Amino acid sequence: MAEFCSECWNDYYCKEYTDEKFILTKHETLCEGCGEYRRVVFATVEKRWQQKIWYIYLPLKRIYRLLRPFLQIFGFPYRLIKYRKELIEIIKNNKR
């Protein structure tokens, strides 16, 4: 990951984030944008928030993938009953 100071970061990503949105490194590092030793952007608040969502979303997705076949198996009798009811109605309608 490229290291940019907050100003160069805004230039590079074409955004206008305020300093509150940045999480800067504690120590000064060479900025790849202006070539000066400055505190560079470690992460943005937005990115950290997205990561938190991702940590919740990913396990849920895995659980869903594991459970999906079981859900389909348990859902099968219900669908069969529904299908039978529809079939009976169709037969009744045909008799009339």
Characterize 11-49 residue by residue with b for buried, 16 or more Cβ atoms within 10 angstroms of its Cβ, and e for exposed. Answer: eeeeeeeeeebbebeeeebebebeeeebebbeebeeeee
Site string for Zn ion, 14-43 (x = CB under 5 A): -----------------x-xx---------
Smallest distance, Zn ion to C-beta of residue 7, A: 6
Nearer residue to Zn ion within complex by CB, 28 or 89:
28
Looking only at residues 52 through 91 of this chain, which bind Zn ion when binding is defined by CB under 5 A?
none
Interacting residue with Zn ion among 8, 10, 22, 41 (CB under 5 A): 8
Tell me the site size for Zn ion, rule CB under 5 A: 5
Three-class SS of residue 39?
strand
| C-alpha span between 24 and 17 (Å, rounded) | 13
**Binding residues for Zn ion, per CB under 5 A?**
5, 8, 31, 33-34
